[in-house]
Amino acid sequence: MNLGNRRIKNPELRVEFEQLGFADVATFRASGNVIFGSEGGESEAALTKTIESGLVGGLGYDVPVFLRSAAEVESIAAREPFEANLVAASSGKLQVLLLTNRPTAKARKTVLGLATGEDLLAIEGRELYWLPSGGTIDSDLDLKAIDSSLGKGTMRTMGTVAQIAAKHCAAG
């Protein structure tokens, strides 16, 4: 959300979601992570459309939405797409790219073919997992080819996803 000259603070973002009729709105960090409740029983597609059109109306620019239920966030946080010893040996942080849709078989094959010993990749559901051997900015991974194959996505560290799950999604 906060890219280029576009800036929105978390309190303003919460207000945008509250004005759309969502309850229990919370934000996590200043990167567009919004947690909210919805009791209308709308489909994910309907909720996404409501949020995207509401945000373009309120903010004046398109904001792609990558919606996940609380159960999905917990599931993502619990996933271990790479062996623990590989994660421990890496000086990079495990990344999760949230996608709009499940990749096609062709897209999966193309993207997974970009993996190297320095940049491990796995796809599960609507998420691409990336374990860089160092900092993401130092990686030679062809991110443009990934975007071209998978479409829009938003990246978070696995640590961020786990923190969101622990704070806002814990069943109980």
pLDDT tens column, 52-91: 999 999 988 888 999 999 999 999 999 999 999 999 999 9
Query: Which structure tokens are listed for 72?
Result: 């999905």
Q: In percent, how much of the chain has pLDDT > 70?
A: 96
Q: What pLDDT shows up at residue 3?
A: 57
For domain 71-169, the CATH class is alpha beta
- End-to-end Cα distance, the chain: 31
Domain residue spans in the chain? Answer: 10-65, 71-169
pLDDT tens-digit readout, 117-150: 999 999 999 999 999 999 999 999 999 999 999 9
DSSP string spanning 29-70? TTTTEEEEE--S---HHHHHHHHHHHHHHHHSS--------H
pTM here is: 0.92
Handedness of CA 32, 38, 41, 47 (dihedral sign): negative
